[in-house]
A = this chain, B = another copy of it.
């Protein structure tokens, strides 16, 4: 009976999907001056591309995400679904009955796309020989994928966190190819505090003797350093109140303090677990490169001002911020909304009262479905609701 219920849930989703690969011989000229002579993107798709290729939505993933947004790779009942399974499927916020949804692992990543753990021409992993990539470079690589898939114009580009930065950059760099941008819990430029937290994570990796200046692929990975980096990151994804509600001062050992250096409080055990799980699936060098891309991100880069960059935009925006998100704050979201409005762009701004911090964009499924799904539905019907606030 339980199995049946689980199966029902599972197959109400997009079901089993396959990771695909697109190889490109083109040279990618990167913002930082480096080049990639040929590259691969790993991607997944959900739903069907319609005849006039007008129903494609590109979902861009965050720092630790990958191409596997939804569904399962196997029929193993133990397998967990993709990172935003709640969002992609029949009747979900990205409704696969209507849309063809694409997600690709970013360039610099470690889940199938070319990154520092990929082999360079000499057959050895790049390590720190990998060129620096920016959010704009991630988007450039995605544009090659859209060309390959024959998608001239995306119905929408959507993303939370670093995914929102990519969506925004799409509209600035390739304005004629984007129908709308869904910019969720993100920022148009990393703040000083954003940079500071990322740098601490990187310092933790550098400090791990297994890191060896990034040349660790034939030995032990710098797992301890990466785990600390992940813990630093993770704490910024949750709000103070969600930590308090979830763990409080509860100890692992009944209500007694242990008076030792093993984990005492439940929150310590949780963080440690997050760190340990992460190192099984993520490459430390990718963490370094992608956090640098985050730090470098400022939509004004290459322009006189943010407004000058936003003048390039030719599509409508949905901007969503979350009250308890202290990583990418509502003030940061409003900076983009103000900038878009200042140059006369069509922008709908929604501020969500939610307690889960930055992660709320993944957790608050009902609200997000109403807002995101509703926006896409209106876009389909040719309506939009510009915000004045």
Q: In the bound complex, do residue A259 and residue B199 qualify as a contact, i.e. CB atoms below 8 Å apart? A: no
Q: Which residues of chain B come closer than 8 Å to A206, judged between CB atoms?
A: 224, 261
A11 within 8 A of B: no
Alpha-carbon gap, A192 to B193, bound state (A)? 21
A288 within 8 A of B: yes
Nearest neighbor of A210 in chain B, beta-carbon distance: B209
Q: In the bound complex, do residue A295 and residue B265 qualify as a contact, i.e. CB atoms below 8 Å apart? A: yes
Minimum distance in angstroms from A271 CB to a CB of chain B: 6
Q: Which residues of chain B come closer than 8 Å to A33, judged between CB atoms?
A: 259
Q: Which residues of chain B come closer than 8 Å to A278, judged between CB atoms?
A: none
Q: A128's contact among B243, B261, B296, by CB below 8 Å, is which?
A: B261
Q: In the bound complex, do residue A32 and residue B196 qualify as a contact, i.e. CB atoms below 8 Å apart? A: no
Nearest neighbor of A261 in chain B, beta-carbon distance: B288
Interface-lining segment among A16-24, A43-51, A98-106, A227-235 = A227-235
A240 within 8 A of B: yes
Q: In the bound complex, do residue B244 and residue A191 qualify as a contact, i.e. CB atoms below 8 Å apart? A: yes
Scoring A residues 176 to 207 as 1 if CB is less than 8 Å from chain B, else 0, what string do you get?
00000000000001111101110110111011
A273-314, CB < 8 A from B: 275, 288, 292, 295-296, 298
A257 within 8 A of B: yes
Q: Which residues of chain B come closer than 8 Å to A34, judged between CB atoms?
A: 259
The count of residues in chain A whose C-beta lies closer than 8 Å to any C-beta of chain B is: 55
Q: In the bound complex, do residue A200 and residue B298 qualify as a contact, i.e. CB atoms below 8 Å apart? A: no
Given A240-B191, A267-B196, A231 contacting B248 (CB threshold 8 A): no
Q: A243's contact among B192, B246, B265, by CB below 8 Å, is which?
A: B192
Given A199-B267, A207-B224, A295-B264, A132 contacting B259 (CB threshold 8 A): yes
Q: In the bound complex, do residue B195 and residue A268 qualify as a contact, i.e. CB atoms below 8 Å apart? A: yes
Nearest neighbor of A260 in chain B, beta-carbon distance: B132
Minimum distance in angstroms from A334 CB to a CB of chain B: 15
Nearest neighbor of A190 in chain B, beta-carbon distance: B249
Nearest neighbor of A197 in chain B, beta-carbon distance: B235
Given A203-B228, A207-B204, A298 contacting B267 (CB threshold 8 A): no
Q: In the bound complex, do residue A200 and residue B288 qualify as a contact, i.e. CB atoms below 8 Å apart? A: no
Given A249-B190, A261-B288, A261-B292, A235 contacting B196 (CB threshold 8 A): yes
Alpha-carbon gap, A264 to B259, bound state (A)? 41
Q: Which residues of chain B come closer than 8 Å to A272, judged between CB atoms?
A: 199, 203
Q: A192's contact among B227, B267, B275, B292, by CB below 8 Å, is which?
A: B267
Q: In the bound complex, do residue A192 and residue B247 qualify as a contact, i.e. CB atoms below 8 Å apart? A: yes
Alpha-carbon gap, A232 to B231, bound state (A)? 11
Given A207-B208, A264-B295, A272-B203, A192 contacting B228 (CB threshold 8 A): no
A81 within 8 A of B: no
Q: In the bound complex, do residue B191 and residue A231 qualify as a contact, i.e. CB atoms below 8 Å apart? A: no
Q: Which residues of chain B come closer than 8 Å to A204, judged between CB atoms?
A: 204, 207, 228
Alpha-carbon gap, A33 to B260, bound state (A)? 11
Q: Which residues of chain B come closer than 8 Å to A232, judged between CB atoms?
A: 200, 232
Q: Which residues of chain B come closer than 8 Å to A112, judged between CB atoms?
A: none
Given A193-B243, A271-B196, A227 contacting B207 (CB threshold 8 A): yes
Selected A-B contacts with CB under 8 Å, 5 pairs: A189-B249, A193-B243, A197-B235, A199-B263, A207-B208
Give the 4 A-B residue pairs with the shortest CB-CB distance, closest first.
Answer: A207-B224, A32-B259, A192-B243, A132-B259
List residues of chain A with CB under 8 Å of any chain B CB: 32-34, 128, 132, 189-193, 195-197, 199-200, 202-204, 206-209, 224-225, 227-228, 231-232, 235, 240, 243-244, 246-249, 257, 259-261, 263-265, 267-268, 271-272, 275, 288, 292, 295-296, 298, 326, 329
Interface contacts beyond A196-B235, A203-B271: sample of 4 additional A-B pairs, CB < 8 Å, sorted by A: A192-B244, A196-B271, A200-B228, A200-B232
